[in-house]
A and B are shown apart, each in its own frame.
Chain A
Amino acid sequence: MSSTGTTLKHYFVNHEQQFDAAKLGMWLFLVTEILLFSGMFVAYAVYRSWHPEVFTYASELLDWRLGALNTVVLLASSFTVALSIHFVQKGENDKVVVLLLLTLACAAIFMVVKYIEYEGKFSHGVFPGAGFEPHGIVDGKDYSKYDIPFAPQFFSIYFVMTGIHGIHVLVGMGLFGWLITRVARGHFSPQWYTPVELTGLYWHLVDIIWIFLFPLLYLI
């Protein structure tokens, strides 16, 4: 055990307190994440209340099937993360590696689906901001009919919210890649697995954000 994490810092009474402090710190960080996203949710609420019919109409251009697929993929990844913590607590690190690899795969699937969605929008002129100029026909939907006032606001909010969420998924992928190498090197044990626990918390929050984004952007 070369890791510093197993050492008790002199300012903690015991390992339990050290673990609780790390977790509390993570929760405080997660609250700042919630507040970051709340700014965008408030923007969504304001624009939606100003132009409800435009939001309902413009959201038809988003494919709810891809959104639902990504929801299932992220829920599955949250499940595998929760399982990985279960098994790291039992010291079954082989299973932890497999479960974290599955989590990483789910995150990658999520990003591929997101890429397909973005690419489909960009190729038909659906850009955030001033470049908004929808054209072409996809699945019987004439994109040029969506070139109406305030539709750009909906798509700007869509791109910014899903974009910043997507960056969080990419960061999560980096963290899981790092964790997998550490589990494989035997850094964690039932006595000390703080990084797995904290990364898990982060990942669940990314999942929760998507749980709200999916109905707000794709369904209603």
Chain B
Amino acid sequence: MAQGQHHIIPTRTLAAVFGLLLFLTVVTVITARIDLGVINIPLALAIAGSKAILVAWIFMALKYDNKVNLLVLALGFVFAVVFLALTLADTELRGNIGITEPGTTELTVEPVESE
């Protein structure tokens, strides 16, 4: 019995997750078609994120797996967020000459006298 002891996910669990995924798809279509102002984008991302977690947790069996696989996925996600955050830190603030606080545009430290 090499792989015989692996957790077999019951078909009822799989069907329930599939049903939930379809339900969330309907929710995201409906909410996106209503103008909710600034909430539209975060809501759509939150629903997509929930769906992705459902797929990874049950369909990809991370819940039942050796947790090292979850760690690998989490690290990949962290680096994707670092990538996004550092890029936006550039593109969002690029050329922002309105920032005039001391330390950004003025010398706050006296230059060292050179001989």
Chain A residues in the interface with B (C-beta under 8 A) = 6, 14-16, 19-20, 23-24, 27-28, 30-31, 34-35, 38-39, 41-42, 45-46, 49-50, 64, 68, 71-72, 75-76, 78-79, 81-83, 85-86, 89-90, 190-194, 200-201, 204-205, 207-208, 211-212, 214-216, 219-220
B102 proximal to A (CB < 8 A): no
Residue of B nearest to A201 (CB): B60
Interface residues of B in 1-38 (CB under 8 A from A): 1-6, 8-11, 14-15, 17-18, 21-22, 25, 28-29, 32-33
Contacting residue for B25 out of A27, A72, A81, A204, CB 8 A: A72
B73: A residues at CB distance < 8 A: 27, 30-31, 34
Contact across chains for B14 and A215 when beta carbons are under 8 A apart: no
Task: Give Cα A45–Cα B84 distance, bound, in whole angstroms.
Answer: 8
Q: Which 8 A-B pairs have the closest CB atoms?
A: A15-B2, A31-B76, A219-B32, A215-B44, A38-B80, A79-B18, A27-B72, A191-B2
B68 proximal to A (CB < 8 A): yes
Interface residues of B, count at CB 8 A: 51
A19: B residues at CB distance < 8 A: 2-3
Contact across chains for B84 and A204 when beta carbons are under 8 A apart: no
Contacting residue for A86 out of B1, B9, B75, B79, CB 8 A: B9
Contact across chains for B88 and A49 when beta carbons are under 8 A apart: yes
Contact across chains for A78 and B55 when beta carbons are under 8 A apart: yes
A46-B87, A46-B88, A71-B25 known; A192+B59 contact, CB < 8 A: no
Residue of B nearest to A20 (CB): B66
Contact across chains for A215 and B28 when beta carbons are under 8 A apart: yes
Task: Give Cα A214–Cα B26 distance, bound, in whole angstroms.
Answer: 12
Residue of B nearest to A29 (CB): B72
Nearest CB of B to A31, in Å: 3
Task: Give Cα A16–Cα B5 distance, bound, in whole angstroms.
Answer: 9
Residue of A nearest to B2 (CB): A15
Contacting residue for A50 out of B8, B9, B56, B91, CB 8 A: B91
Contact across chains for A24 and B9 when beta carbons are under 8 A apart: no
Task: Give Cα A49–Cα B8 distance, bound, in whole angstroms.
Answer: 44
Contact across chains for B29 and A192 when beta carbons are under 8 A apart: no
Contact across chains for A42 and B69 when beta carbons are under 8 A apart: no
Task: Give Cα A65–Cα B65 distance, bound, in whole angstroms.
Answer: 36
Contact across chains for A219 and B88 when beta carbons are under 8 A apart: no
Contact across chains for A215 and B3 when beta carbons are under 8 A apart: no
A212: B residues at CB distance < 8 A: 45, 48, 52
Contact across chains for A192 and B3 when beta carbons are under 8 A apart: yes
A31-B72, A31-B73, A41-B84 known; A86+B11 contact, CB < 8 A: yes
Q: List 26 A-B contacts (CB under 8 A).
A: A14-B2, A15-B3, A16-B2, A19-B3, A24-B69, A34-B77, A35-B79, A38-B83, A41-B80, A42-B87, A50-B91, A68-B25, A79-B14, A190-B4, A191-B1, A191-B4, A193-B3, A200-B59, A200-B60, A204-B59, A205-B60, A211-B55, A214-B28, A215-B47, A216-B44, A219-B33
Task: Give Cα A201–Cα B56 distance, bound, in whole angstroms.
Answer: 9
